[in-house]
């Protein structure tokens, strides 16, 4: 299926507006009907462009036909500027397969491979994708977290600005995911003093001023949600996310055009389900707590769109 038949768009025009317009496009991870409905209704209520991000494991969980069926059933219109994006594609074949079933954007994540392999594989999928009007995101540097301060050394995990320049010149991705101190999951920092490396971001921007940049591992991990989860029987200790003011700065004052959020939506969903089950212990109708979780995911997306990414009214 061609993505345009599903009402989807690629990320090209949206990233151009984001690069000039002081906002970032949210990429929210989805894995079932409820998450897709929540993300799309948040986009519709805020008139925000969004990227529905599907990891390979989420795709396996849903099944390709089910995913495309849900997207078709959502009746997306191209004017809504919604992209369907493969998150962390692990091979060129996996990206090609996503392209052929209806994705409008793919990420090839060869960040843990050596540089030449990353360049060659990215250039390969870029050729295939561009012939079909699909956007490609690549990644350089590793999201190892804040504890590694060994910048640019042999064990460096941050993105090296000079290598970023070479990479973009050789591989031509439409956007580049960079490592400046974020990491996946709910345990990103040990203390509030640990900050993102905006100095490295600035050097990257100087080297590749026209490339839209992507921030993975950007969840804020709200303490009220973690507290609620723990209050109602969960066990999440020492969780800490990205500082919200730093994230707002990244979204509005830098070349970061796409910000990936998964953990915040997982926390919102889990807190809502635990809360609902606790308040209504007699209930055994899953629709009730699934409905509460869908609303909570939608509200988390709306909060981030309005207060952090500033992408509302940007379609």
- Residues of the shown chain interacting with ligand G3H in the complex, contacts defined by CB under 6 A: 29, 55, 57-58, 87-88, 184, 262
The residue whose two tokens read 């906002």 is 23
- CB burial string 73-82: b at 16+ within 10 A, e below: ebebeeebbb
Name the minimum Å distance from CB 52 to ligand G3H. Answer: 13
Out of ligand 13P, ligand G3H, Zn ion, none, what residue 258 binds, judged by CB under 5 to 8 A for its kind, is none
The CA-based angle 303-247-271, given to 5 degrees, is 45
159 part of the interface to ligand 13P, by CB under 6 A? no
State yes or no: residue 263 binds ligand 13P (CB under 6 A): yes
By beta-carbon proximity to Zn ion, the closer residue of 251 and 315 is 251
Taking the least distance from each CB to ligand G3H, the nearer of 266 and 294 is 266
Contact partner, 57, from ligand 13P, Zn ion, ligand G3H, none, Cβ < 5-8 Å per class: ligand G3H
* Site membership for ligand 13P, residue 129 (CB under 6 A): no
Q: Burial letters for 15-26: b for 16+ Cβ neighbours within 10 Å, e otherwise?
A: bebbbeeebbbb
Question: Is 29 among the residues that bind ligand 13P (CB under 6 A)?
Answer: yes
Q: How is residue 236 written in tokens?
A: 């999440």
Of residues 52 and 315, the one with the C-beta less far from ligand G3H: 52
262 classed as catalytic: no
Residue from 97, 165, 172, 184 binding ligand 13P (CB under 6 A): 184
Distance CA 129, CA 313 (A): 29
Among 80, 160, 262, 276, binds ligand 13P (CB under 6 A): 262
* Residue the block writes with tokens 């493969």: 86
Query: Residue 18 binds which entry of Zn ion, ligand G3H, ligand 13P, none, with Cβ cut-offs from 5 to 8 Å by kind?
Result: none
Pick 191 or 210: Cβ nearer ligand 13P: 191
**Spatial distance between the Cα atoms of 211 and 132, rounded to a whole number of angstroms:** 20
The span of 130-138, 157-165, 248-256, 258-266 binding ligand 13P (CB under 6 A) equals 258-266
> Smaller CB distance to Zn ion: residue 6 or 18?
18
Residue 87 binds to ligand 13P (criterion: CB under 6 A): yes
Q: Which lies closer to ligand 13P via its Cβ, residue 129 or residue 261?
A: 261
Partner from ligand 13P, Zn ion, ligand G3H, none contacting 219, C-beta within 5 to 8 A by type? ligand 13P
48 close to 305: Cβ distance less than 8 angstroms: yes
Return the active site residues: 87
Residues that bind ligand 13P (CB under 6 A): 29, 53, 87-88, 184-185, 216-219, 260-264
């Amino acid at each position: 299926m061609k993505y345009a038949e599903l009402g989807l768009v690629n990320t090209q025009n949206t990233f151009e507006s984001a690069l000039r317009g002081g906002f970032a496009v949210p990429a929210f991870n989805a894995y079932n009907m409820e998450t897709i409905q929540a993300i799309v209704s948040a986009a519709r209520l805020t008139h925000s462009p969004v990227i529905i991000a599907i990891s390979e494991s989420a795709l396996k969980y849903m099944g390709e036909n089910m995913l495309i069926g849900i997207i078709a059933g959502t009746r997306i219109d191209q004017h809504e500027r919604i992209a369907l994006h493969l998150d962390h594609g692990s091979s060129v074949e996996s990206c090609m397969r996503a392209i052929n079933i209806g994705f409008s954007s793919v990420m090839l994540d060869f960040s843990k491979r050596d540089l030449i392999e990353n360049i060659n594989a990215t250039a390969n999928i870029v050729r295939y994708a561009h012939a079909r009007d699909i956007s490609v995101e690549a990644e350089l540097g590793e999201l190892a977290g804040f504890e590694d301060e060994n910048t640019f050394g042999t064990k460096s995990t941050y993105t090296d600005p000079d290598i970023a320049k070479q990479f973009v010149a050789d591989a031509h991705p439409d956007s580049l995911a960079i490592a400046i101190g974020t990491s996946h999951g709910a345990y990103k920092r040990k203390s509030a003093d640990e900050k993102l490396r905006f100095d490295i971001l600035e050097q990257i921007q100087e080297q590749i001023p026209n490339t839209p940049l992507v921030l993975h591992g950007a969840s804020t991990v709200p303490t009220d949600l973690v507290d609620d989860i723990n209050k109602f029987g969960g066990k999440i200790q020492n969780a800490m996310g990205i500082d919200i003011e730093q994230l707002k700065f990244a979204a509005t004052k830098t070349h970061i055009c796409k910000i990936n959020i998964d953990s915040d939506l997982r926390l919102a969903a889990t807190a809502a389900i635990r809360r609902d089950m606790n308040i209504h212990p007699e209930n055994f109708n899953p629709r009730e707590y699934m409905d509460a979780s869908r609303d909570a995911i939608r509200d988390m997306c709306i909060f981030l769109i309005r207060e952090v990414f500033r992408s509302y009214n940007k379609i």
